[in-house]
Amino acid sequence: MLPEYLPRYLHARAMVATAEGAFAEAEREARRAARAVRGASEAWWFLNDLAEACLLNGAPLDALGHFTTGRRLASQVPSITGEIWAGLGQALALYHLDRPTEALATLDGAESLASATGNASALATARLHRARVLLDLGDVESAANLAGHIPEDRCLAPLASYVSSLVAQTRGILEDALRKAQEACEAASATHTPLQMVSGVLLTRDELEVLRETIRSARGDTSKVRERLQPRVDSMPPRARLAAMGLLADCAHREGDDEASEALFRETLASDLGRQEVRTRRLLLQAWSAWSPEAERWRGLIVPPPKRRRPVRGE
């Protein structure tokens, strides 16, 4: 029989690893904790934390499965709060899997519950995630409207500025986009809680910084962007690292070295890095195919391999 304290101990280890940005370790410990509580009434909570670790560690397909199970278990307890946060996680996993229509439908349910229960933080988080999905669907005005009407919340400030930066970038207003990206980085530094620990946000400081460098590159500052990114890229978590490598490839193209650019795009897409990160891989291919017909030959590599996620016993 397992010691009674073991699940909480393993959960604490997972939370420490998450706070330190060691997401692979966080996933391992969260998986052990979830297995230790299978069948218990609080199993949904442990599964939710496992799903968040998977999402931060570049595995949105695995995360989606755990969020879905966690949401079902939360509804059986019942825990409306658990249903809300698991629903938000499901939607974000679908967003990273490049399934925006499903993401919006999932957000509808989570927003409805958050609104009915007066959960202001969850409602604001849901609306910011909705804005990100709407941008991918080309509805810039609706996304801008949502991003511009979020109540002030210190914990959500990095995500709110990040989304506002994406809106300005999509509109081609690079000065505003850079200012908002800078605000996002500063807001993330100003809070005592690491960004990846804020409920429902599931965004890392590296992703904020890659966005900032992307905008700087678009303004023509490619050499300095490379100088800042290259020493750090290998230490980034999968999603940010994918985006950073794509940005370095794009910088090479902007500087006239198409051979180096294509080599880096090929190397990145052919690697196992973030194989489940369908949306980020699609954006890399999109950036490459904008100037090279060679890119279309690699389209098959933006789809994750048909590999079944490792279930937690009892799911």
Confidence of residue 190 (pLDDT cuts 50, 70, 90): confident
At 147-157, the pLDDT tens digits run: 988 888 888 99
Residue 309 confidence (pLDDT): 52
Residue 136 confidence (pLDDT): 96
Q: What is the pTM of this model?
A: 0.94
Confidence of residue 173 (pLDDT cuts 50, 70, 90): very high
Q: Is the peptide bond before 78 cis (omega within 30 degrees of 0)?
A: yes
What is d(CA 14, CA 301) in angstroms, rounded to the nearest whole number? 31
Mean pLDDT value across the chain: 92
- Nearest alpha carbon to residue 32 among 16, 18, 12, 59: 12
Q: Where are the domains of the chain?
A: 1-101, 221-310
Higher pLDDT: 303 or 44? It is: 44
Specify the CATH number of the domain 1-101. 1.25.40.10
Whether 285 has a pLDDT exceeding 80, the answer reads yes
At 55-95, the pLDDT tens digits run: 999 999 999 999 999 999 999 999 999 999 999 999 999 99
What Cα–Cα distance (Å) separates residue 132 from each residue in 125, 162, 191, 268? 11, 10, 23, 24
Buried b (16+ CB within 10 A) or exposed e, 236-261: bbbbbbbbbbbbbbbbbbbeeeeeeb
Higher pLDDT: 299 or 14? It is: 14
What is d(CA 63, CA 23) in angstroms, rounded to the nearest whole number? 13
